[in-house]
Amino acid sequence: MTILVAGGTGLAGSAIVRELGRVNKKVIGISSNEVNLLDRAKTFSYIKDLKPNVIIDAAAKVGGVGSNNAFPVEFLSQNLQIQSNLMDAAHEAKVEKFVFLGSSCIYPRNCAQPIKEDYLLTGELEQTNSAYAVAKIAGIELIKSYRKEYGHSWISVMPTNLYGPNDNFDLENSHVLPALIRKFIEAKRSNSPEVVLWGSGTPLREFLHVDDLAKAILVCLDKYDDSQQINIGSGDEISIKDLGQKIANLTGFTGKIVWDSNRPDGTPRKVLDSTKINKLDWKPSITLDQGIAATVEWYQENK
């Protein structure tokens, strides 16, 4: 059996490739360097020639609050193209199983907490990343549509905020946790007296190490077959202010933390209800302290 991981060099994709290799599965990870998934003809040709049994779609244009808010056309258009090209090509090649990775930002901004799968499309989205969220919602709907019209055993999984090795640490377009790691490490190295962070620090977020996500994906491949998306989260939440202090401590930064309230906060609170996947005998094994410490070490060695 051949498993193709699209986006195989990114944060989530590389972790999934590692985990599949660990359990001795035949896995091929591709990036845009091998196949440009925005090119429909090339995507169809590649999938037709490879004939994988399973496709895991971890390919996407991703970024933090700032880049999502600044470039909504790219986040909507490119993600729609990537996922539809890949799914349509998989259908033509008769791919048995397809796993679509979405994002917890698909849920309404002011959602009841913890967020159940049933809460999708029950309220307005967070405007700073609504374009990306709409693209991911469209991906979920396309999975459902292929199941309904053709009987495919395809699924959608919705991970919470991810972090770990091979993350994007660019200060302009990364997510909050890797951005904080880089800021505090650079501030410590340069002996800066303070670090300026975005927003008020009050939003609450849930974080999951990508190695735990990879294990959850394998569980879903074996045990989940339903049209509704399934949440994958840690169940623990932390304020951005406390997260900043935690990362400061773990990187050895002892200066002052200043909050720039002119920058956006994003959704005020976001923690997933992961009851469904917990019932499939999956729970995360890496604590936030362990995961951040390992990611700090990886960054220092690789960046």
119 labelled catalytic: no
How many structural domains are present in the chain? 1
Q: Give which of 231, 219, 216, 220 is closest to 275, Cα–Cα.
A: 231
Q: Does residue 71 lie in a domain region?
A: yes
Catalytic site residue from 46, 107, 119, 132: 132
Per-residue pLDDT at 303: 83
Task: Please answer whether residues 171 and 182 qualify as being in contact, where contact means their C-beta atoms are separated by less than 8 angstroms.
Answer: yes
Q: Which domain range does residue 282 map to?
A: 2-167+207-235+271-286
Per-residue pLDDT at 66: 79
Per-residue pLDDT at 9: 97
Type of residue found at 91? H
Per-position b or e across 156-168, b if 16+ CB within 10 A of its CB: bbbbbbbbbbbbb
Q: Omega of the bond prior to 114 within 30 degrees of 0, cis? A: yes
Q: Does residue 249 lie in a domain region?
A: no
In terms of DSSP bridges, do strands 194-198 and 256-260 run parallel, antiparallel, or are they unpaired?
parallel
Residues of the chain with pLDDT under 70: none
Per-residue pLDDT at 257: 97
Q: Does residue 36 lie in a domain region?
A: yes
Per-residue pLDDT at 65: 78
Q: Does residue 111 lie in a domain region?
A: yes
Q: Does residue 174 lie in a domain region?
A: no
Instruction: Please give the full DSSP string across 107-171, using - where no structure is assigned.
Output: S-TT--SSBPGGGTTSSPPPGGGHHHHHHHHHHHHHHHHHHHHH--EEEEEEE-EEESTT----T
Angle of CA points 180, 182, 186, to nearest 5°: 120
What's the CATH code of the domain at 56? 3.40.50.720
Per-residue pLDDT at 267: 82
Q: pLDDT tens digit string along 47-77?
A: 999 999 999 999 999 988 778 889 999 999 9
pTM over 0.85: yes
Interacting residues of 182 by C-beta distance below 8 A, sequence separation 6+: 169, 171, 174, 299, 303
**Crossing angle between the packed helical segments 72-92 and 130-150, to the nearest 10 degrees:** 20
Distance CA 96, CA 106 (A): 26
